[in-house]
Copies of this chain bind each other. A is one copy, B any other.
Amino acid sequence: MKFELLGTDGAARRGQLTTTHGVVQTPVFMPVGTQATVKALTPTDLESAGAEIILGNTYHLLLRPGPDVVRELGGLHRFMGWSGAILTDSGGFQVFSLAKTRTISDAGVEFRAPLDGVTRFLSPESVVDIQRALGSDISMPLDECLAYPATREATARSLARTLHWAARAREAHGARTDDQALFGIVQGGAYDDLRAEAVERTVALDFEGYAIGGMAVGEPKPTMLDLTATVAAALPRDRPRYLMGVGKPEDLVEGVARGVDMFDCVLPTRNARNGQAFTSTGPVTIKQARWTRDATPLDPACSCYTCRTFSRAYLRHLFVSEELLAYRLLTLHNVRFYLCLMAAMRASIEARAFAAFRRRFFSDYVSSDDRVC
């Protein structure tokens, strides 16, 4: 994997990530494909929406169909028919939030999966192995995910474990001659000094990119943004920076403003299935009766298939009728909206006009119908 920083505008960065599965323009949003599918979309839909990289979930794929099945079928790309890049998470976040019972030790995490009740064990080494079997372009090490708020003592203890695991993952993953990259994850909770320590000791392990973890876990938005700015500024300039699990459209703009290169979040896909569409003039709740006879598209500024073809009235009808097509069409639009927003940000950084873009976005997103893309 190769990362090139093409330009900057303030803290905002315009870059390019070259993987064995294509080039990814940054800042980038990565749609989440939990179970080897970005819910309701085909690989062709993702391409037409402009996706260059998507996420896969190690935890879910471990449980089903299992890394051995995926490897036997040619790896995750071939299994799901996606020829672009894939980043797999470590499964840590899901183990901490989804598993019924879990026991953490320095060795790793033992957990009982809700799906089959079977007890499994994840170590820093096994998480590397699983992601090798999946064959993703970018892999993540096992880390401990702490809830917010947490005491300084608990956060420091947790950080020590994450750093210990990071070193073991680095070791297990081996030299950087492989075609699969490994990122480091910066933890440290809401404590500036712990975050600073996390940056220093994680960077010392020399990863190919750095994620800012433990965000969007319940902390106030200003805290998240301040921590992001501090951590991003401390990270090496020549490596991509990935803000995990973030966020809303406005969070992406604020993240880019603070020097973040990569984002992922279930919001555009999950909210689509709940009937919320993101548009250039703000979110739309499609089930509202006000759209019953509305012949206009979801977002006149959008060029996706949904907006080119259907009215809000039709989308509302599909959604209230619980038709499968509703989830698909809204997902397609939301993913396209997120990817277009990133494209617009990239263009504004290239033009060294990011500050103006950011002002305009916040004005448009709540108050007008100006074109985002």
Contacts and interface: CB of A to CB of B under 8 A. Distances in A.
Contacts of A329: 42
Interface in A295-316: 295, 305, 309-311, 313-314
A1 interface: no
A314 B314 CA distance: 32
A328 B321 contact: no
A138 to B, nearest CB: 22
Contacts of A310: 81
A74 B65 CA distance: 46
Interface string A18-55: 00000000000000000111011111100000000000
Interface in A41-90: 41-44, 64-65, 69, 72-74, 79-81
A324 B328 contact: yes
B39 A73 contact: no
Interface in A309-341: 309-311, 313-314, 317-318, 320-321, 323-325, 327-329
A293 interface: yes
A292 interface: yes
A317 B35 contact: yes
A116 to B, nearest CB: 12
A253 to B, nearest CB: 29
Nearest to A64: B321
A293 to B, nearest CB: 6
Contact of A73 (B40, B41, B42, B293): B293
Given A293-B72, A295-B73, A309-B81, A39 B314 contact: no
Contacts of A293: 69, 72-73
A324 B311 CA distance: 22
A80 B313 CA distance: 10
B65 A317 contact: yes
Given A79-B314, A324-B328, 6 more contacts: A35-B321, A36-B318, A40-B324, A44-B305, A73-B311, A81-B309
Which 3 pairs between the two chains have the least Cβ-Cβ distance? A40-B324, A81-B309, A65-B317
15 contacts: A36-B314, A36-B318, A37-B325, A39-B323, A40-B325, A41-B325, A42-B325, A42-B328, A64-B320, A69-B292, A69-B293, A79-B313, A80-B314, A324-B324, A324-B328
